[in-house]
Amino acid sequence: MSHAPAPRTAFLDNGLKILIQEIHIAPLASVWCWYKVGSRDEMPGCTGVSHWVEHMNFKGTTNIPREKVKGIIEEFGGSWNGYTWIDQTTYLETATRDALDRMLFIEAERMANGLYEPGECESERTVIISELEGGENDPDQLLEMEVNAAAFKAHPYGHPTIGWLSDLQRMTRDDLYSYYRRHYIPNNATLVVVGDVDADDVIRRANHHFGAIPPGAVPTRTLSVEPAQLGERRVVVEKEGTTAYLKVAYHAPAATGEGFFPLLLIDSVLTGAKGLNLWASFRTPPPQRSARLYRALVEGRLASSVSGGLLPTADPYLYTISVTAREGTSLEAVERAALSEIDRVAREGVTSQELDKARNQLRARLVFENDSVTNIAHQLGFFETIASVDLFLSVGDRIQQVTQNQVAEAAARILRPANRTVGWFKPVPIGEGEHLPADAASSGGPVSGR
C-alpha cells in the first residue's frame, strides 16, 4: 500500500525481473517465482495444461531428485507450495533466511531443468483427472464452473483452470514439455524475495543461480475481447444433492479498469470487506453484520450463507455473488430477495456512512493480509503479474479516493440485468438424478500445487 516502501527492482541480463523487499523483523525469507502463464493462455484442446505443468514441476529436476524436493526446504523448518490460476502460475518457499540460497536454487532448477519423465506424466494425469472428478461432489464449484462458462463466449477466462476432461485425456508428455519450455523462461518470470535479506546479496545470489539460463521468445498474449453481453443469461444445474445454491455473476473491470475499486467498495457494502489477496483474503470470514445481502438473506432466514468475489485480474473478469439457500427455501425466493438488494444499489448507490465503513474495513483487511513476509511477497508478485507492483503500492490510496458518485456510476453500469449471468443449482433427491460427465465438475478457481 502507499505507506510501504517500494521494493528494490533489478533485472538480470537474461530478462529475469527481481523484486526485493527488506523486512528485518524476524530471521525469515519468502521466495516466490511468478510466471505470466495461466489458463488464459490455453488454446482449445489443451485446457488444463498450465495446471498440469505446475504439478510436473514438483516431480524433480536434473539436479534435484523427486524425493528431495520437499526435504530441501523442510530441513529448514520451512513451507513450500504453488498454484495456477487464470493469469499466472507461481511457486513459493518460506523458511529461515539461511535457506535463501537453497530456495533460489530450487526455483532456478524448476525454471530450467524439469524432467517430465513419461511415467510421471502418466501418473499425474490420473491424479489430475481424479481431482477434476472429485469436484463433481461439490455443487458450489460445479455451479461456478457452469456460470463462468456461460458468462464468457470469446475470452478463455470462461474455461476452468483444471481443464476439460477430454483435453486431460488427450494431452501427451510432449505437449506438456513444449508448453513448459515455451513459457518457463527468465524473461517471462518475476522473482520476488521478501524478508530479512540484503538486496545486493539477493541480486548476486540470483545472478549465480539464474544468470546462465537463456532467455526465450516471450509468448504473445493477444486474446479475443469479450463482447458486451446483451441480455441476462441463465444456467440451471440439476443434480443429486441436498442443498440449493444461487450465483449471480456480473462482468467486472480488470484491476486497472475504470470502476474496479468502486466495485470493490460496493461488494464490501453488499457482502462484507474481503481484501485483495488471493492467497489469504478468503481464509478469514469478512465482517458481515451490516452487509446488505447478509441482512436480507441470512438474517432474513432465506440463506445460510452469502459471499461475494471480486479479485484483480489482467483482463475484465467477473464479480460473483454466491448464496447457499436454507433448507425448505425456494431458489425463486432467494433470487428475488438477492436481486432486490443488488438492484437497489444499482439504482441508488450507497450511503456516505456505508461508504466510510467499507473504506475503513477494507483498509484494515489490507493491513491484515500483509501481516507476513509470505503474504507481502505474494502481493508484490501477483500484482506485478497482472499489472504492476505500482498498482499494489497504490491500493490503499485508490480505495480512499473513491467517491460516492463513482460508486453510484459503477453500480449503475455494472449491476445491470443485461450484464449478469444467474445460476441455480437445484438438488435432485439421491438416486433420482442422472450422473453428469466428469468434465462438468471443474472449479473455476485457483488450483494449488502439490
| CATH number of domain containing 18 | 3.30.830.10
Instruction: Examine residue 58 and state whether it is found in any structural domain, yes or no.
Output: yes
> What integer pLDDT is reported at residue 3 of this predicted model?
47
Q: Are residues 287 and 198 part of one domain?
A: no
The C-alpha atoms of residue 388 and residue 223 are separated, in whole angstroms, by: 20
DSSP string covering 59-123: S-BSSS-GGGHHHHHHTTT-EEEEEE-SS-EEEEEEEEGGGHHHHHHHHHHHHH-B---HHHHHH
The whole-number average pLDDT for the span 160-166 is: 96
Residue range 243-291, pLDDT digits in tens: 999 999 999 999 999 999 999 999 999 999 999 999 987 778 899 999 9
User: Of 104, 109, 130, whose CA–CA distance to 59 is shortest?
Assistant: 109
CA 225, 227, 231 angle in degrees (round to 5)? 155
The whole-number average pLDDT for the span 22-27 is: 97
Q: Are residues 247 and 191 part of one domain?
A: no
> What integer pLDDT is reported at residue 211 of this predicted model?
98
Residue range 173-227, pLDDT digits in tens: 999 999 999 999 999 999 999 999 999 999 999 999 999 999 999 999 888 999 9
Q: Are residues 184 and 103 part of one domain?
A: yes
Per the structure, how many domains does the chain have?
2
User: Of 249, 224, 245, whose CA–CA distance to 323 is shortest?
Assistant: 245
The C-alpha atoms of residue 53 and residue 31 are separated, in whole angstroms, by: 20
State the cell numbers at 84.
Answer: 495456477
> What integer pLDDT is reported at residue 448 of this predicted model?
67
Which helix or strand (DSSP H or E) is residue 189 part of? strand 189-195
> What integer pLDDT is reported at residue 439 of this predicted model?
36
Instruction: Examine residue 227 and state whether it is found in any structural domain, yes or no.
Output: no
Range of the domain at 200: 8-210
The whole-number average pLDDT for the span 82-110 is: 97
Verdict on whether the full-model pTM lies above 0.85? yes
Instruction: Examine residue 220 and state whether it is found in any structural domain, yes or no.
Output: no
Binned at pLDDT 50, 70 and 90, residue 308 comes out as very high
β-strand partners of 114: 61
Instruction: Examine residue 100 and state whether it is found in any structural domain, yes or no.
Output: yes
H-helix segments, 369-435: 373-386, 389-393, 395-401, 404-414
Q: Are residues 121 and 241 part of one domain?
A: no
Instruction: Examine residue 219 and state whether it is found in any structural domain, yes or no.
Output: no
Binned at pLDDT 50, 70 and 90, residue 441 comes out as very low
The C-alpha atoms of residue 272 and residue 257 are separated, in whole angstroms, by: 22
> What integer pLDDT is reported at residue 436 of this predicted model?
42
